[in-house]
Amino acid sequence: MKRETGRYKTFTRRSAMLVGGQGLLLSALVGRLYYLQVVRSEEYRMLADENRISLRLLAPPRGLIVDRYGQVVAGNMQNYRVLLVPEQAKRTGEKLTVSADRTLVVLSKLIPLDDFQRQKVLREVGRKREFVPINVAENLTWEDFSRINVHAPDLPGILPDVGETRQYPLGPILAHVVGYVAPVADTDTIDDPLLELPGFRIGRSGVERKADRTLRGKAGSSHVEVNAHGRVIRELKRVAGHPGREVTITIDAQLQEFATNRMGAESAGAAVIDISNGDVLALVSTPSFDPTQFAFGLSRDEWNTLVNNPRKPLLNKAVTGQYPPGSTFKMMVALAALENGAIHTGHRVFCPGHTVLGDRKFHCWKKGGHGELTLTEGIEQSCDVFFYDVARRVGIDKIAEMATRFGLGSTPDLGLGTERPGLIPTADWKFKRTGERWQAGETLVAGIGQGFILTTPLQLAAMTGMVANGGIRITPRLIVPPDEAERASVRPDLVLDPEADPRSLKISAGSMAAVREGMVRVVNSARGTAYAARIRDKGFEMAGKSGTAQVRGISVAERDEGLPAIDTIPWEQRDHALFVGFAPMAAPRYACAVVVEHGGGGSSVSGPMVRDILLQVQKLDSGRKLRRQVADVAPPKG
């Protein structure tokens, strides 16, 4: 009996321990379930949704770029494209690439699709999951897009789609200024999720590059439900993105188009500046290129054609091209000598056709010489001997100091990223660069804008504007700040007072008046080098200065026998043709510079271009003022 009682007690203890253990396990399980279902329910619900719901970015429309009057110079247009969804093209028991290739062969009968494009698509098919759309062709014409839609039943897996691509209404006319967009490259820093979107494009040059962040906008989002394989089942929510902001530039698109057409097929650069506030009204480089080609994608042949063109269409000659200024630099030499007391406004020099320094002759462009000249006559007739004398008296360092005050030798910041500083040499610069001392003959050569000196058309336009406005510093600008663009399309005119303006270069009024008078006589005196290029319209007259920059030395034999006709000289050995001018002559408002590479004579080639451009900008301004006046007095309709 005792044995049975003991066995019962043992059984009871074991049962109790078993039940207790089960109870503990159950309690732990209930507690864990409570913890997961209640305490951390939100977290696990979120994880489940993340597996079920996929967040996808939506590219926003790129912001517009407009000129100073609101004309769109970079916008967006519909992009008709074709996508391939491999799984929808697949046939039972057939390899995915074989099915996709069969569809592409049929598609190639409807739109241009060569073997290279087909192989590129098939490589993508092999790399990506079968339900992911692959871009086959884009920027299709409406006719091609319509044809594909009509034949859609015979094109398994083909998905016609409409997106957006960049459009440049003025094409090559503003290519160097506006720039272009291109696909994101492997070397780009991915600091924005938008850059990871297939086919997304970013600014690669010009204003498109400088203002890319502003133009890019903010992405929208699409919440889609996906299955375990990542295939989209349905869209649950869509949040529109914020389009990029509009960017205003100071360019006058009408003037830009006129200037580009006027320069024609020449290899040339030009700049027009409003001297009252520094706004760049035109910035021309010819020949140019079509920026839309870059947005669509260049072929290898198209790229090689651009790169190998000897006239360098990809180079923005207005800000990147660096040229000897030739005689357009003589105003700087004159001002340096006047302001440093090396000469006075009544200084006279006799020109027999050359001057001698040591055992070397330095020739004037006029073989027989000019005779005796004053300062204004020296500028008017562009006498080289006169400026040899002036340069020798003042010295290279004083010339360089004056040129630097006028912005030469420094890089203007337009935001394009391609601006170049040119070069204004000094004696110290040469010694540091070559270890050799500056020679007196080099000063004479610098006195007529040759030798080491290099400038850009934009620098020459700003320099000319500062001569015209009495010596007030001009800071060229191209992009209008957003807050200013919202208040007005352009800056108001500034009152120019060289004596009171804090931007004054502190040059005496007498020196400036003497130099300006010489420029007036260049185009308005019968003895001026550019008299034939004068503006004949009353009230629109201009002042200017011609320049011809040698790109090769002239031998003694050539000089004695006479220089050959320009059309018998290889193009790359011909002189550069330069001209700078400002208008209207009585109350200067606009400055212009044109450099024609290997164009020949500045007064005969570049002078007429500057004349026509300055006349056009004044007429455009007059026409707009008249239209505003008519609008202000017109009675309300009705």
**Measured between alpha carbons, how far is 147 from 80 in angstroms, rounded to an integer?**
12
Region class of 395: left (phi > 0), else alpha (psi between -120 and 50), else beta: left
Q: Which residue has the tokens 């080289």?
A: 384
Task: Work out the burial of residue 220: count CB atoms within 10 Å of its CB; fewer than 13 is exposed, 13-18 middle, 19 or more buried.
Answer: middle
Q: Which residue has the tokens 């696909």?
A: 183
Long-range contacts of 435-438 (CB under 8 A, 24+ apart): 438/396
Q: How many residues does the chain have?
A: 638
H or E element at residue 624: helix 607-633
**581, 614 in Cβ contact below 8 A?**
yes
CA dihedral 472, 478, 482, 484 (to 10 degrees): 30
- Which of the residues 327, 511, 603, 606 is marked catalytic? 327
Please report, as a single letter, which amino acid is at residue 236.
L
**Measured between alpha carbons, how far is 148 from 420 in angstroms, rounded to an integer?**
49
327 in active site:
yes
Task: Work out the burial of residue 158: count CB atoms within 10 Å of its CB; fewer than 13 is exposed, 13-18 middle, 19 or more buried.
Answer: buried
Pairing of strands 247-249, 65-66: parallel
Angstrom CA distances, 345 to 377, 477, 514, 519, 570, stand at 11, 34, 7, 14, 42
How many angstroms separate the first and last alpha carbons of the chain? 124
**Measured between alpha carbons, how far is 140 from 42 in angstroms, rounded to an integer?**
48
Catalytic residues: 327
